[in-house]
Amino acid sequence: MLNYAIRRSGQMLVTVFVISVIAFVVIQLPPGDFVNSYLATLSGGNIVTQDAIIALRSQFGLDENIVVQYWRWFTNLLQGNMGISFQYQRTVLDLLGERLPLTLAITIPTAIFVYLVAIPIGIYSAVRQYSPTDYLLSFVGFIFLAIPNFLIAIIAIYIGYRYFGGSVGGLFSPEYELAPWSLGKVLNMLQNMSLAILIIGTGGVAATMRVMRGMLLDELSQAYVETARAKGLSEWRLIMKYPVRVAVSPVLSTIGFVLPALISGTEITATVLNIPTTGPLLLNAVRSQDMFLAASIIFVLSILTVIGTFISDLLLVWADPRIKL
Amino acid sequence: MTAEATTPVAPAPVATSDGVAVRIISPRRLMWWKFRKHKLAVASAIFLILAYLATIFAGFVAPYDPASRSRNLYAPPQGINFVDETGQFHLQPFVYGWKMTRDLKTLSPVYVADTTQKFPLRLFVQGEPYKLFGLIDADRHLFGVDEGYFHLAGTDHFGRDLFTRLVYGAQISLSVGIISVFLSLVLGLLIGGISGLYGGWIDNFIQRLIEAIIAIPTIPLWLGLAAAVPRDWPPLYQYFAILVVLSLISWTSTARVARGRFLALREQDFVTAARVYGASQTRIIAKHLVPNLMSYVIVTLTLAIPGIIIGETALSFLGVGLKVPTVSWGVLLQESQKVQIIQFYPWLWIGPAACVVSVVLAFNFVGDGARDAADPFSR
């Protein structure tokens, strides 16, 4: 176990390194270096001395070659210095500290929601294969797989307006927007967050449900299931105790794909629903080519998925002794 | 079983010793038979073929020019009628004209069907001139009205016909999927093939790269890459830049499949047999490995197209992908970033949304059918 954890963390460090290179490429792609864009965004009121420009350039090593620049950026990054956002005139770390908790507060419950809902539905579909309910669930699953998150968000806004006469979106409803913290405000926030979780989760549920169904169907046709049934085990216990446990572990290991997809979904849905996660921040950064901010957000989000996958891998090894160490 | 055992032998029917004629079925034909059994996949494939044909003949299918404006701003879709206001049935379908009033509170236009104005619908009507394939002058349209106006999907804030814009938008949105997927096919086969062929540290490096790309949430990375596309580029350049951005991420799945199949096939007996017979490395790759690989790769690609179409739509919707005057489904959805549009003019987002969802759904069904067909062990 310890051995596996060490080997796996080594692998993780390599992935983090590659991601940092990709993030750096994202910073470098737009034409012109960042001090120029920085100066261009400063309003007339700010006077920048030549010394300050030189200091900025040397801090990020802009006069040196690209490898040195990358190294400066990467070591700065490791020390928590992610550069400055031109647009907000604040450090990137500051901005991330403000927005990131909400991204996590939405993504993590969504992941739990996806697996909690998808696994039972997948089990039901597999056990009652070709029943009307199975067909219905598969059909609905296919449809939700085809509707991108942001369209579901748009539909939610429309339904909210049309049938409930309320506005959908924002972290708080208008009446709580400026109110001081209270129990009502917290409940209101949770309500808005759960709507976002529902919207972001649908695609994940649809996908995971199908994987679970397929995996369990493979297991159900195995001979050991027949043996257990012949020995007179009750159907419920038989399915829950053996095939489901075998089928669940590859389903849970899809988290490496599900987590990035959920974060993608969170970012775009939050933009439509106007929830202040890192999503709207990233979009603003991208629109104004505020590349340090954009790349830092991409980097941090990716690191979060890498860590999430790492933790779930360790849990899987711990839970399923058949996985090779 | 017999078919499986005899497929690799000869392409002509042969009689076995016991006198029973055995037809030799090529794997491709076998796949086609299996695919044909998947009714939903076949229906989806036909739908997609029609959709792509419509984009080729966009000028003919669309009743108007995508830029021409009418006096009806923000008009909702006109329903097609067979029965008129007196309850009489007409074989010739017709639409009612709109009578516009203004909501006195919000000042937004309110349209009421005007039963005194009846425009009969006709096929192959003469209408606004267009250039078929961008070359041939023409003015016949698949359907339309001789006088008056017909907006099947409503109009936008300039009074432009939304159905027309959806057809022209399909040209961009659908071609992005296909072209991007071909770019990722080339990248994926090349990189995946190199990875599987050489192994060692090259394989290791490529696998780490793929893992890293998969770990990065797609939309944020697409956003970051799309930010580099200069805003003052002409639409055609932007289109190709977005194509490249989309394929830069989606090649990973093809590469994984290609490498995995490559490694598995390399150990197969028929490859060893070919090697024993003295076939060169190139011949083994071209003649034995790639054909066996292709069905899997094609399935992966079909399943990758929906992701790319959604990607383009999402990027354009967020305003960092394609931009006006280019018309794509994502660009049409851009309007719906305003809550008022979502609430008061729902046809403006329902139209493009329905297009995206039905095309994505169809590709998913075709991909599913193709996957079952390509799997020799599926029943």
Q: What percent of chain B has pLDDT over 90?
A: 11
Residue-wise pLDDT tens for chain A (325 aa)?
Answer: 788 888 888 888 888 999 999 988 888 887 766 666 666 666 555 666 777 777 777 766 666 777 888 888 888 888 888 877 777 778 888 888 888 999 999 999 999 999 999 999 999 999 998 899 999 998 899 899 889 988 999 998 888 888 887 777 777 877 777 777 888 888 888 888 888 999 999 988 998 998 899 889 988 888 999 999 899 888 888 888 888 988 888 888 888 888 898 999 999 999 888 888 898 999 988 888 778 888 889 999 999 889 888 888 888 888 777 665 4
Does the pLDDT at position B10 exceed 80? no
Which token pair is A153? Answer: 């968000």
Does the pLDDT at position B7 exceed 50? no
Q: What is the pLDDT of residue B13?
A: 54
What is d(CA A22, CA A294) in angstroms, rounded to the nearest whole number? 12
Say which of A147, A256, A302 has its CB closest to residue B217.
A302
B352 preceded by cis ω (within 30°)?
A: no
Write out chain B in H/E/C secondary structure.
Answer: CHHHHHCCCCCCCEECCCCCEECCCCHHHHHHHHHHHCHHHHHHHHHHHHHHHHHHCHHHHCCCCCCCECCCCCCCCCCCEEECCCCCEEEEEEEEEEEEEECCCCCCEEEEEEEEEEEEEEEEEEEEEEEECCCEEEEEEEEEECCCCCCCCCECCCCEEHHHHHHHHHHHHHHHHHHHHHHHHHHHHHHHHHHHHHCHHHHHHHHHHHHHHHHCCHHHHHHHHHCCCCCCCCHHHHHHHHHHHHHHHHHHHHHHHHHHHHHHHHCCHHHHHHHHCCCCHHHHHHHHHHHHHHHHHHHHHHHHHHHHHHHHHHHHHCCCCCCCCCCCHHHHHHHHHCHHHHHHCCHHHHHHHHHHHHHHHHHHHHHHHHHHHHCCCCC
Contact status of B329 with chain A (Cβ, < 8 Å)? no
Contact status of A269 with chain B (Cβ, < 8 Å)? no
Contact flag A264-B217 (C-beta cutoff 8 Å): yes
Write out A306-323 in H/E/C secondary structure.
Answer: HHHHHHHHHHHHHHCCCC
Q: What is the pLDDT of residue A33?
A: 62
Q: What is the pLDDT of residue B5?
A: 44
Which token pair is B122? Answer: 């006709």
- CB neighbours (10 Å) of residue B103? 10
Does the pLDDT at position B211 exceed 90? no
A184–chain B nearest CA distance, Å:
26
Nearest CA in chain A to B350: A155
SS3 state at A22? helix
SS3 state at A72? helix
Contact status of A258 with chain B (Cβ, < 8 Å)? no
B119–chain A nearest CA distance, Å:
31
Contact flag A158-B320 (C-beta cutoff 8 Å): no
Beta strands in chain A (DSSP E): 84-85, 90-91
Which token pair is B348? Answer: 């403006």
Q: What is the pLDDT of residue B16?
A: 57
Contact flag B343-A15 (C-beta cutoff 8 Å): no
Write out A31-62 in H/E/C secondary structure.
Answer: CCCHHHHHHHHCCCCCCCCHHHHHHHHHHCCC
Q: What is the pLDDT of residue B199?
A: 76
Note which residues in 353-372 of chain B have CB less than 8 A from chain A. Answer: 353, 356-358, 360-361, 364-365
Q: Quote the ipTM score.
A: 0.85
Q: Which domains does chain B have, with CATH numbers?
A: 71-159 (no CATH), 166-374 (1.10.3720.10)
With beta carbons less than 8 A apart as the criterion, state whether A291 and A26 touch. yes
At CB < 8 A and 24+ separation, what contacts does A100-105 make? A100/A278, A100/A300, A102/A171, A102/A275, A102/A276, A102/A277, A102/A278, A103/A263, A103/A266, A103/A267, A103/A270, A103/A277, A103/A278, A103/A279, A103/A301, A104/A304, A105/A193
Contact flag A291-B349 (C-beta cutoff 8 Å): no
Say which of A31, A142, A298 has its CB closest to residue B224.
A298
Residues of A whose CB is below 8 A from B364: 142, 145-146
Q: Which domains does chain A have, with CATH numbers?
A: 92-319 (1.10.3720.10)
Contact status of A295 with chain B (Cβ, < 8 Å)? yes
Does the pLDDT at position B263 exceed 60? yes
What is d(CA B180, CA A295) in angstroms, rounded to the nearest whole number? 24
At B3, the pLDDT band (50, 70, 90 cuts) reads very low
At B48, the pLDDT band (50, 70, 90 cuts) reads very high
DSSP type of residue A131? S
Contact flag B353-A286 (C-beta cutoff 8 Å): no
In the chain, the amino acid numbered B68 is S
At B371, the pLDDT band (50, 70, 90 cuts) reads confident
Q: What is the pLDDT of residue B14?
A: 55
Among A129-133, B14-18, B298-302, the minimum mean pLDDT is found in B14-18
A63: enclosing H helix or E strand: none
Does the pLDDT at position B262 exceed 60? yes
With beta carbons less than 8 A apart as the criterion, state whether A206 and A144 touch. yes
Q: What is the pLDDT of residue B152?
A: 82
**Interface with B, mutate which of A217, A278, A289, A298 (most B CBs under 10 A):** A298
Q: What is the pLDDT of residue A122?
A: 93
Taking residues B62-66, what's their average pLDDT? 83
Angle between helices B39-56 and B347-374 (to 10 degrees): 130
Residue B372 burial by CB count (10 A; 0-12/13-18/19+): exposed, middle or buried? middle
pLDDT tens by residue, B29-38: 888 888 888 8
